[in-house]
Structure 1
Amino acid sequence: MLVDTYGRVATDLRVSLTDRCNLRCTYCMPEEGLRWLGKPELLTDDEIVRLVRIAVTGLGVTEVRFTGGEPLLRPGLPGIVERCAALEPRPRLSLTTNGIGLARIAPALRAAGLDRVNVSLDTLRPEVFKTLTRRDRHRDVVEGLLAARAAGLDPVKVNTVLMPGLNDDEAPDLLAWAIENGYELRFIEQMPLDAQHGWQRDGMITAGDVLASLRTRFTLTAEGEEIRGSAPAERWLVDGGPYRVGVIASVTRPFCAACDRTRLTADGQVRTCLFAREETDLRAALRAGEPDEEIARIWRRAMWGKKAGSGLDDPAFLQPDRPMSAIGG
């Protein structure tokens, strides 16, 4: 098991498949993009599947989420999903994507064994989407969501970040749209993981802001902590249910005490926390020919040293050197 000194057990593995992305979201990276990892630096398909197998069969991982960058840019993605779905015990498999290209590949991913998707969409207005992402691809994301639902990748979850002066007035409209289309909406506080290191706490839209906006149109009833468990989102019933909305408040309401995640970057580094400044290299052990048992030992040792919290509430907090696109969500 991947246990830390605070008694937390990591059963949820986030696997970044690439650091590349086909959007340039203002809260993530500069307009010109970043220096992407070279192919020799990236884990191969076989290396990814081997590490997932070690995690699932030897370390107690039960859920695997493929992330990026943009994971749909990874060649051979359906094959990776299919091989991971064939593991025993079979992990639950999900994908976080910006939705561009999902309309084309959703049926193949479902056939390969993918269980569900999280799609990022911050606005219902194409012109605001273009401003936020620096790309005119709003229709592609909407079509990707429809295709995911049609393919049976349920539940289809939508991740939304609200930014001041751009889309911070859209929370009620987004929730009404999600309910109408059968999607589960999650608002995510903007986190200090931008490549420009321009994040400022004073300028972010908080969970409290989101809830206040939603309550201008909807009645929200909080679900209990016993229902939430280790999930990052606090959830509320909308108008008595059955529909729900979630808020992931990593900054203002951190949930570190219940964290059950371990992360693997596209170049084979274990990260114990999204905001960690240290990493543990598994790629070197793979390529040195180390057996599964040694790789598992290195992974367990890394997780044993996991810190109690993200440190976001510490005045001395420093952002990780790597941005979100290089870490994986």
Structure 2
Amino acid sequence: MTAVDLGMPRLPTGGAAGPTSTPVVGPARPDTPELVDQFGRVATDLRISLTDRCNLRCTYCMPAEGLDWMPGDERLSDRELIRLITVAVTRLGVRELRFTGGEPLLRRGLEDILAACAALLPRPDISLTTNGIGLERRAAGLAEAGLDRLNVSLDTLRRERFQEITRRDRLADVLAGLTAAKAAGLAPLKINSVLMRGVNADEAVDLLEFAVGNGYELRFIEQMPLDAQHGWKRAGMVSAQEILDSLRTAFALRPEAGERGAAPAELWTVDGGPVRVGVIGAVTRPFCDRCDRTRLTADGQVRSCLFATGETDLRVLLRGGAGDEEIARAWRDAMWAKAPGHGIDDPDFVQPHRPMSAIGG
């Protein structure tokens, strides 16, 4: 979405202050129901974490033994979750919903949640990001419930390497899930891949060949500092430019014409099209100035940024008897205070306490 001119301070081009820094002081929040911030951005895309639990143990996400999972009474119930989503869609102008985790397929009642969201007016676009475990038997039901699109995480096509990265021997299950999702008509069907130096960086071409051959859209994502171990090192990250250089050894890539808008991926047509590949350079090519996202964790916390160090508790309002408009005001205030950027390059950058599995992708 194009940033709206609200007569407010603009995000500097080519740089981003960290989420712990104080935003430039601007005028009072304008009288609008939308989720605006002080830099003219409007959040219309809600990322919803359904659970912090996962059935894989990816090395770049969590330790082999897993994490201390969120207690059940802290997690939003289906009813609470649907109410907050309803507030977002009907009062705050949210038009896109993406369900994430942890692993969202582990959430009981997922199909009922999707159906309730699909019944909202105006009807939002509904997508889901999954590791694909269990997708084979559920893809048709997810589509029937109202799911529009799907992203499946897949970092390697080699069984032994998949087991090394995820600490589970489940590659066949993921591939079967992709096939079932395609058959269910969940399109475009996207694959998310993270390349790591010395691990799977040599598979960029193989992954794109696989995607092209099966009619999937591939998205390469730079590894971000969101691991539970806080062990991320820039030196181990394969940059967007390195990914593109690798792909060009086998494919002709051309930047896709038209406005990118708030989309996180830079898109390239492959060998003249129609197949496309995307590269999300969140670290080396930040797109904070166009961000249109707001985030809701499984325990009801609003996060204005993936890398935010603070949260706004909507669960306490829900359970304290607050009305929908009071909840909406708290959400608007949280987004109004959004920092200009993630600040990964800032000397004082602090990695969020919560890992990606607890924040949601």
Structure 1 residue 315 displacement after superposition: 1.6
**Aligned AA for 2:314?**
L
Which of 61, 73, 86 is the aligned partner of 1:40? 73
**Aligned AA for 2:242?**
D
1:195 is matched with 228
Alignment of 1:19-34 (within 5 A): 19-34=52-67
Whole-angstrom distance in 1 between the partners of 2:167 and 2:47: 27
**Aligned AA for 1:196?**
Q
Whole-angstrom distance in 1 between the partners of 2:123 and 2:236: 43
Whole-angstrom distance in 2 between the partners of 1:271 and 1:132: 28
Would you say 1:230 and 2:262 are equivalent positions?
Answer: yes
Alignment of 1:300-311 (within 5 A): 300-311=332-343
2:101 is matched with 68
Which of 42, 45, 51 is the aligned partner of 1:18? 51
Alignment of 1:99-178 (within 5 A): 99-178=132-211
Which of 174, 179, 193 is the aligned partner of 2:212? 179
Which of 262, 278, 283 is the aligned partner of 2:310? 278
Whole-angstrom distance in 2 between the partners of 1:119 and 1:163: 18
Structure 1 residue 263 displacement after superposition: 0.2
Whole-angstrom distance in 1 between the partners of 2:159 and 2:86: 41
Whole-angstrom distance in 2 between the partners of 1:175 and 1:23: 23
Q: Secondary structure at the match of 1:242?
A: coil
Structure 1 residue 223 displacement after superposition: 1.9
2:320 is matched with 288
Q: Secondary structure at the match of 2:54?
A: coil
**Any unmatched runs of 5+ in structure 2?**
1-33
Whole-angstrom distance in 1 between the partners of 2:261 and 2:76: 32
**Aligned AA for 1:136?**
D
1:259 is matched with 291
Deviations 1:59-107 (A, max 9, x none): 0000000000000000000000000100000000000000000001111
Ranked by relative contact order (alpha carbons within 8 Å, sequence separation 6 or more), the top structure is 2
Whole-angstrom distance in 2 between the partners of 1:227 and 1:70: 32
**Aligned AA for 1:298?**
A
1:88 is matched with 121
**Aligned AA for 2:303?**
R
Whole-angstrom distance in 2 between the partners of 1:212 and 1:33: 35
Q: Secondary structure at the match of 2:68?
A: coil
**Any unmatched runs of 5+ in structure 1?**
none
Would you say 1:326 and 2:355 are equivalent positions?
Answer: no
Q: Secondary structure at the match of 1:41?
A: coil
- Give the TM-score of the pair, scaled to structure 1: 0.99
Structure 1 residue 240 displacement after superposition: 1.2
Deviations 1:237-278 (A, max 9, x none): 111111100000000000000000000000000000000000
Deviations 1:213-252 (A, max 9, x none): 000000110124x431100000101111111000000000
Deviations 1:138-164 (A, max 9, x none): 000000011111001111000000111
Greater share of residues in helix: 1
Structure 1 residue 202 displacement after superposition: 1.8
Whole-angstrom distance in 1 between the partners of 2:181 and 2:333: 38
Which of 84, 88, 92 is the aligned partner of 1:51? 84
Whole-angstrom distance in 2 between the partners of 1:167 and 1:263: 30
2:28 is matched with none
Deviations 1:112-139 (A, max 9, x none): 0000100000001011000000000000
Structure 1 residue 306 displacement after superposition: 0.2
Deviations 1:269-308 (A, max 9, x none): 0000000000000000000010000000000000000000
Whole-angstrom distance in 2 between the partners of 1:227 and 1:238: 18
**Aligned AA for 1:326?**
A
Whole-angstrom distance in 2 between the partners of 1:45 and 1:153: 24
Whole-angstrom distance in 1 between the partners of 2:180 and 2:318: 37
